[in-house]
Amino acid sequence: DREIQNYNVAYFMASTDTLEDNTGFAEKNGATFPILADPNKTMCEAYGVLSPHGYASRWTFYIDKEGVIQKIDKQVNAREAGKQLVENMDALRFPRAT
């Protein structure tokens, strides 16, 4: 999370869980980023990430400042997600914070 803050980007996690469940998850895991609660699955359906089991697939969308999706990472490893984010943002030449 700390390395991600070196970039001039906004990031958040989306989940089909309720706001209460997401708040508990954030507290338990020390999450310092926003978590979007999508219990109605509207956003998940719009982005095509809703699994057949009814939960959000663990994908990362890299969207540039013009709103264009530059990459969709469908192979996210929860333990390595922060490292993967930094590597992909570097490869995509996302701007670093000044």
Strands (E) in the chain, as ranges, are: 13-15, 35-37, 60-63, 69-73
Structure confidence at residue 6 (pLDDT): 87
Give mean pLDDT, residues 28-53: 92
Torsion of CA 37, 41, 9, 86, to 10 degrees: 100
Q: What is the pLDDT of residue 2?
A: 75
Residues contacting 53, CB < 8 A, separation 6+: none
- Segment 45-72 mean pLDDT: 93
Given a cut of 90, whether residue 10 has pLDDT beyond it is: no
User: Would you state the pLDDT for residue 98?
Assistant: 80
pLDDT at residue 1 in the model: 62
pLDDT digits (tens, 9 = 90+) for 60-70: 999 999 999 99
Options 1.10.10.60, 3.40.50.720, 1.10.3720.10, 3.40.30.10; which CATH number does 4-91 get? 3.40.30.10
Pair 50, 44: CB distance under 8 Å: yes
What are the domain boundaries of the chain?
Answer: 4-91
C-beta atoms surrounding 71 within 10 Å:
13
